[in-house]
């Protein structure tokens, strides 16, 4: 009898698990897989319960997909683990009372408008001469990025010593005037005198000569090329002291001036899906672990260490997910999120990932605020959503839903995914 009861109990568990899977399968077909917006798309869905170590539902979870900005989850985990409590803003060595030698640490917060407190800037103001030790990192654009987008604000170029977010901020004032920040770039700018309704910007991809033509834009953030000469002149113009590039500096720059709390950067990165912050975060991790900025080598290092047990070894080429060379499976993201939960805890994660009604899901999951924490992803033909979901019975689930090659509106697909996840939450 005892044996029978134990077997019966186990049998009930199996039935319950099967019932959950079957119910989710029906809803996945109803809301997502058979949805008119997704009938010709490729879709992968994985829903996992970490408490039991079992998947509640898995549909093509082992297949590879272009993940778009879900790639930032892999970057975020590495940043949470290796960047410490506060960011290394800059490496330096004080040569004498008036002169300092500095070396970039890839920190994107330097003079960025998102950060009102600027400890690195105020520290540099103490000196009368600044010497910059240039970095060997010159891969301003990532592997597989779309070169045609080089004027778009979401594709700010990467650098060892970012400044102002590596973008020029432009505001239309009237038919003959635009405001340019930082003002240094006014030197190489030209504009027509008939900007009656706004402007549009032209700039060669490899120089920082901006031309303003008649258009309809009232404001814009346009990436500039962060070459050494531009950095030197821009820093000199901003701080107001002589700045020199020194490639043969023999001293050490072991001292560090810290800038911002690490999670303050990561929160913006994940809430806004900020590509620039993600790329620089990966370079900062590289600088910490390898002593140099090399996105390819740090990705290879992470894949051989922290990510060596990923279910499907991914193709991972950048920090942000701008590249279509990135390929991950839904189960890969479940693995990364579960690892994030185990190592850092849900309270820290809740502070970094957006919940319903915030960030990139500001108009989604409004009734689920505080119960869902996610990272979105969008490219042409790509919609992705991975994260954590607390059910009505307070069961914690980890999920990843990746959609590729759709030819519909991204909004209709996001709403379909929302219906599925809200059903999973309310019924369990």
pLDDT digit string, tens, across residues 311-327: 999 999 999 999 999 99
306 plus 378 within the same structural domain: yes
Burial group, residue 200, by CB count within 10 angstroms (0-12, 13-18, 19+): middle
Residue 114 has what pLDDT? 97
363 plus 307 within the same structural domain: yes
Of 229, 259, 289, the residue that ends a domain is 259
Quick one: how far is CA 221 from the chain centroid? 18
305 plus 187 within the same structural domain: no
Quick check: 92 pLDDT over 70?
yes
Q: Which segment of 10-19, 35-44, 278-287, 355-364 scores lowest on mean pLDDT?
A: 10-19
Q: Is residue 268 part of a domain?
A: yes
Of 275, 165, 269, nearest to 223 by C-alpha is: 165
Our CA dihedral for 259, 346, 77, 50, rounded to 10 degrees, sits at 180
Q: pLDDT by residue (tens digit) across 126-149?
A: 999 999 999 999 999 999 999 899
Q: Is residue 10 part of a domain?
A: no
For a pLDDT cut of 70, what percent of the chain falls above it? 96
Of 213, 243, 259, the residue that ends a domain is 259
Number of neighbouring beta carbons within 10 Å of residue 143: 14
Per DSSP, the three-state class of 413 is helix
Q: Is residue 2 part of a domain?
A: no
Contact 225, 207 (CB under 8 A): yes
Structural domain count, the chain: 2
Q: Is residue 50 part of a domain?
A: yes
268 plus 376 within the same structural domain: yes
199 plus 247 within the same structural domain: yes
Please give the average per-residue pLDDT across 228-237, as a whole number.
95
240 plus 105 within the same structural domain: yes
The Cα-based distances of 331 to 58, 402, 403 in angstroms read 9, 10, 14
Please give the average per-residue pLDDT across 201-228, as a whole number.
94
Quick check: 11 pLDDT over 60?
no
Contact 66, 352 (CB under 8 A): no
Residue 5 has what pLDDT? 39
Contact 140, 293 (CB under 8 A): no
249 plus 129 within the same structural domain: yes
Of 259, 279, 296, the residue that ends a domain is 259
235 plus 116 within the same structural domain: yes
What does DSSP say about strands 243-245 and 129-132: parallel, antiparallel, or unpaired?
Answer: parallel
Per DSSP, the three-state class of 310 is coil
Quick check: 37 pLDDT over 80?
yes
Please give the average per-residue pLDDT across 415-426, as a whole number.
97
The average confidence (pLDDT) of the chain is: 93
Of 324, 27, 284, nearest to 135 by C-alpha is: 284
Categorize the per-residue pLDDT at 6 as very low, low, confident or very high, splitting at 50, 70 and 90.
very low
Quick check: 16 pLDDT over 90?
no
Q: Is residue 134 part of a domain?
A: yes
Q: Is residue 398 part of a domain?
A: yes
Q: Which segment of 123-132, 222-231, 242-251 scores lowest on mean pLDDT?
A: 242-251
Residue 39 has what pLDDT? 87
Please give the average per-residue pLDDT across 16-30, as a whole number.
84
Categorize the per-residue pLDDT at 7 as very low, low, confident or very high, splitting at 50, 70 and 90.
very low
Q: Residues with Cβ < 8 Å from 402, sequence gap 6 or more? A: 43, 44, 65, 67, 70, 328, 329, 330, 333, 377, 382, 383, 384, 386
130 plus 274 within the same structural domain: no
73 plus 137 within the same structural domain: no
Q: Is residue 36 part of a domain?
A: yes
Residue 193 has what pLDDT? 73
276 plus 416 within the same structural domain: yes
- CATH at 40: 3.40.710.10
Please give the average per-residue pLDDT across 247-275, as a whole number.
94
Q: Among all chains, which residue has been given the structure tokens 């594709």?
A: 155
Contact 210, 225 (CB under 8 A): no
Prior bond of 413 cis (ω within 30°): no
Residue 341 has what pLDDT? 98
Of 201, 226, 212, nearest to 151 by C-alpha is: 201
271 plus 247 within the same structural domain: no
Quick check: 12 pLDDT over 90?
no
CA–CA separation, 112 and 97 (whole Å): 28
Q: Which domain holds residue 54?
A: 20-81+264-427
Instruction: Please state whether the predicted TM-score (pTM) of the whole model is above 0.75.
Output: yes
Residue 18 has what pLDDT? 63
Residue 254 has what pLDDT? 87
DSSP collapsed to 3 states, 179-239:
EEECHHHHCCEEECCCCCCCEEEECCCCCCCEEEEECCECEEEEECCCCHHHHHHHHHHHH
Per DSSP, the three-state class of 129 is strand
Of 310, 241, 219, nearest to 100 by C-alpha is: 241
Q: Is residue 250 part of a domain?
A: yes
Quick check: 195 pLDDT over 60?
yes
């Amino acid at each position: 009898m005892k044996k029978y009861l134990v077997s019966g109990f186990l049998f009930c568990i199996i039935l319950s698990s099967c019932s959950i899977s079957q119910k989710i399968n029906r809803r996945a077909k109803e809301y997502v897989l058979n949805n008119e917006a997704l009938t010709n798309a490729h879709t992968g869905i994985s829903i996992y319960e970490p408490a039991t170590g079992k998947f509640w539902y898995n549909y093509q979870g082992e297949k590879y997909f272009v993940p778009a900005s879900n790639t930032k989850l892999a970057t975020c985990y590495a940043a949470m683990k290796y960047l410490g409590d506060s960011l290394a803003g800059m490496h330096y060595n004080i040569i004498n009372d008036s002169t300092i030698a500095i070396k970039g640490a890839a920190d994107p917060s330097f003079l960025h408008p998102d950060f009102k407190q600027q400890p690195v800037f105020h520290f540099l103001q103490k000196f009368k001469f600044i010497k910059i030790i240039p970095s060997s990192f010159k891969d301003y654009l990532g592997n597989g990025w779309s070169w045609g987008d080089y004027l778009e604000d979401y594709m700010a170029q990467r650098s060892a010593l970012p400044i102002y977010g590596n973008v020029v901020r432009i505001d239309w004032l009237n038919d003959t005037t635009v405001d340019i920040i930082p003002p240094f770039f006014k030197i190489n700018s030209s504009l027509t005198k008939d900007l009656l309704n706004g402007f549009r910007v032209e700039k060669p991809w490899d120089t920082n000569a901006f031309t303003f033509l008649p258009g309809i834009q009232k404001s814009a953030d346009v990436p500039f090329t962060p070459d050494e000469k531009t950095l030197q002149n821009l820093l000199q113009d901003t701080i107001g002291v002589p700045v020199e590039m020194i490639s043969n500096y023999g001293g050490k720059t072991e001292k560090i001036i810290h800038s911002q709390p690490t999670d303050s950067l990561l929160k913006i990165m994940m809430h806004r899906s900020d590509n620039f912050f993600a790329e620089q975060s990966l370079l900062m991790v590289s600088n910490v672990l390898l002593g140099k900025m090399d996105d390819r080598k740090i990705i290879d290092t992470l894949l051989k260490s922290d990510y060596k047990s990923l279910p499907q070894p991914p193709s991972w080429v950048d920090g942000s997910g701008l590249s279509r060379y990135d390929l991950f499976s839904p189960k890969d993201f479940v693995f990364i999120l579960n690892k994030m939960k185990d190592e850092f805890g849900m309270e820290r994660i809740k502070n970094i990932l957006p919940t319903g009604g915030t960030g990139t899901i500001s108009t989604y999951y409004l009734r689920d605020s505080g119960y869902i924490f996610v990272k979105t992803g969008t490219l042409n033909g790509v919609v992705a959503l991975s994260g954590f979901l607390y059910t009505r019975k307070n069961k914690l689930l980890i999920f990843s839903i990746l959609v590729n090659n759709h030819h519909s509106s991204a909004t209709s697909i996001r709403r379909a995914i929302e219906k599925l996840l809200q059903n999973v939450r309310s019924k369990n």
